[in-house]
Amino acid sequence: MGKRTRLTEREEAFVRAQRVARLATADAEGHPTAVPVCYAYDGAQFYSPLDEKPKRIAARHLRRVRNIEARHEATLLIDRYDDDWSRLGYVLVEGRAEVIEPGAPEHARAVELLRVRYVQYRAMNLEEMPVIALSPERVVSWGPALDAPDESQEANASQNDQERQNIWLQPGRGVNFLPLARGRRSVRAFQQRPVPRRALEMMLAAAQWAPSPHGRQPWRFAVLTRNEPKHLLADAMGEEWKRTLAMDGQPEEIIQLRLEKSHERIRTAPAIVLVCLYLEDLDQYPDPDRQHAEEIMAIQSLGAAIQNLLLSAYALGLDCGWMCAPLFCPDTVRAALELDSSLIPHALITVGYAAREPKRRPRRPLDELIVRFD
């Protein structure tokens, strides 16, 4: 088998999930050096910035830059340690490194990708700093998470699917979209690490750009990061759910178990975005059919806003879970959070850093979903 220059899907997911890599370069005599770096991967190349953090020496005189200018061989190691050794892993990329100067089209794209991954770069003047680009010439990886056979049906994706997806390997408008759409998964257990406020603001800003009927943006968001409102909400919704489960004739111990799980999900999520439908600005029609269609459009648009939220969270290295429970007890949710009566709670989006690698739900082959294409 020849040398691989592209990452497999698992490697790509692994690389996107890590935050830091070690970049090794050597000088003209072969003396090596390695430094920890932030990086972004666009599906073909890795980019690492020479950021504007105060440094003793100007970016262009950094040892790694001088090394790359002397010889272009470089290695990037992206690894993960965990006391749970089933989670160990690394991706090792050997390749050719270049220093990309500001002004080059690739530079602007690299900066954009880096800012998607690291909120901190949004505020830094990366435009004037060179970026290191590494083109993989050999990719190897190791680790149970990377070696495991693909559980998803995607492993068996038809040739057709594969061909359709190749189109996404061409970077279009600065975003390699398919890995983003595919990488997102529902996460139901989070680390206790808090979510930066800036990241939540960026997610809401992404949601805001969703399409909506007549551009009316029929959604509003309530963000919970403190324990107290989370507990209030979990308690209130729990009581309501208990009543409905009992009504369904569920055994007491099952009710208790389900309640505890749901309570825990809300309580332990580092942040929660409650997405509410807001119908006040919609067009009004005299006939119920058109009014109903107008409301359906608003709900469709709420889904689009949520998807923007989920994808932007994923792009920022965060994960989300979707809980539909508020739909079944809107009054309870409104009362617990003291929300205006015009807001109709629809979904609880839990946000945080995944506690473990989430399972990927398989997707049907695309051909099964397309009923006609001519």
Which residues of this chain interact with ligand FMN, rule CB under 6 A? Answer: 185-186, 188, 321-325, 361
Q: Which two tokens stand for residue 72?
A: 């272009």
Half-sphere exposure at residue 161, Cβ-oriented, CA atoms within 13 angstroms: 15
Residue 327 C-beta: closest distance to ligand FMN, Å? 8
Residue 360 C-beta: closest distance to ligand FMN, Å? 7
Give which of 292, 307, 118 is closest to 203, Cα–Cα: 307
47 or 314: CB nearest ligand FMN: 314
Q: Which two tokens stand for residue 327?
A: 């739909």
Residue 347 C-beta: closest distance to ligand FMN, Å? 7
125 or 156: CB nearest ligand FMN: 156
91 or 266: CB nearest ligand FMN: 266
13 or 323: CB nearest ligand FMN: 323
Instruction: Return the CA Rg of the chain.
Output: 24
Residue 305 C-beta: closest distance to ligand FMN, Å? 12
DSSP state, residue 3: P
Residue 313 C-beta: closest distance to ligand FMN, Å? 12
14 or 47: CB nearest ligand FMN: 14
Residue 132 C-beta: closest distance to ligand FMN, Å? 34
Residue 361 C-beta: closest distance to ligand FMN, Å? 4
Phi, psi of 77 (to 5 degrees): -115, 120
Map tokens 């935050």 to a residue.
19
Residue 247 C-beta: closest distance to ligand FMN, Å? 18
36 or 362: CB nearest ligand FMN: 362
CA distances from 348 to 5, 163, 333 (A): 41, 36, 10
101 or 264: CB nearest ligand FMN: 264
Number of H helices, E strands in the chain: 13, 11
Q: Are 324 and 349 in contact (CB under 8 A)?
A: no
Contacts for 325 with CB less than 8 Å, ≥ 6 apart: 237, 241, 262, 348
Q: Are 65 and 130 in contact (CB under 8 A)?
A: yes
C-alpha 164/C-alpha 122 separation (Å) is 33
Q: Which two tokens stand for residue 338?
A: 């003291």
Residue 324 C-beta: closest distance to ligand FMN, Å? 4
CB count within 10 Å of CB 246 equals 12
C-alpha 236/C-alpha 230 separation (Å) is 10
C-alpha 79/C-alpha 74 separation (Å) is 16
27 or 161: CB nearest ligand FMN: 161
324 or 371: CB nearest ligand FMN: 324
